[in-house]
Amino acid sequence: MNIQTNIALSTLTTMKIGGNADRVVNVTSEEELQRAYNNSKELGQPIYILGGGSNLIVHDEGFAGAIIRIKIMGIDILDDNQETATITAGAGETWDVFVQQMVGRNLSGIETMSGIPGTVGAAPVQNIGAYGQELADTFVSLRAYDTQSDDFVILKKEDCGFAYRHSIFRGEQVGRYIITHVTLTLNKKPPVPPFYDALQQHLSQRQVNIAGVTVQKIRDAVIEIRSNKLPDPSQLPNAGSFFKNPIVPLQLGETLKATYPEIPIYPVDGIRVKIPAGWLIQSCDLKGRVFHGVKVHDGNAVVLVNESAQGYADLAAARKEITDCVYRKFKITLEQEPLEL
């Protein structure tokens, strides 16, 4: 267990804003996690669990407590048969490295989530997804420290309340469970078209044989698409997709389609549709605009880049200007995707 004091959270998060944390504790095992949590609890300190810092916005006042960073590593094969493989990964593993290793085994199910920043342990919290796949599709279970019972538990898929970019871990049970391991079942069959529109178009433009496409070619394509649309946080500070793609009533979607025939609309169920947040922002002529030191990314309007923001107040002001503009034009309220501390 490694303990540091008075650490700037701007150095641990990809948006690069926010104040200091009193303590940062790095844990590499479940035993260390339990001990670190109980020690902080006995000291009366607030506790926050931090993964890769790619989906978190920190306020200027920082955090007067203990940040526990999960560094539990390891990848184990639980079951391997002719059709599938069931894999458990430590929560501290880097998500994209894990995807790369699974693709290297020709396992399908998470390849379109290549390039997503963060850790394996953070993936279920947001139910991450991209280009037609989401974590819930392959999720089997996770192991977590239950802070209420002071014990380790197994939560199955039905226990996690997965929805679009949501789970109980950022909803009704926020703060209760600390994820230590995640188990997925991946497929040995090759990817089957048709693929998500943007991915399908990318493959077609490069004359890839879609009928015989491999998981490696899908991963390569996704990484190329993402590199053009999503800036590297190490080069341009950002938190990835800053706004969720809004899910709205079908009637509103039809009304907007009549007014804006070019608007992309994707069915969710019989009564709701999903509209890309980036399209809404771009249609307000905001792409490339800078608000309070925060830039709407040139390549993807759903990404906000910290160019010169002085702190959280600047980001909040920029967010308000963008969401107000979208609401005035489309009567849709955009919701922020990253969590806040």
- Residues taking part in catalysis: 165, 241, 337
What distance in Å separates the CA atoms of residue 90 and residue 82, rounded to the nearest whole number? 25
**Bridge-partner residues for 283, per DSSP?**
none
**Bridge-partner residues for 248, per DSSP?**
273
Helix (H, G, I), strand (E, B) or coil at 84: strand
**DSSP states of 152-205 as a string?**
EEEEEGGGTT-BTTB-GGGTTTTTTEEEEEEEEEEE-SPP-S---HHHHHHHHH
**DSSP states of 261-323 as a string?**
TT---EE-SSSEEE--HHHHHHHTT-TT-EETTEEE-SS-TTEEEESS--SHHHHHHHHHHHH
Q: How far apart are the first and last CA of the chain?
A: 23
What distance in Å separates the CA atoms of residue 274 and residue 281, rounded to the nearest whole number? 15
Q: Name the amino acid, one letter, at 238.
A: N
Rg (CA), the chain: 20
**DSSP states of 103-169 as a string?**
HHTT-BSSGGGTT--SBTTTHHHHT-EETTEEGGGTEEEEEEEETTTTEEEEEEGGGTT-BTTB-GG
CB-CB neighbours of 288 under 10 Å: 12
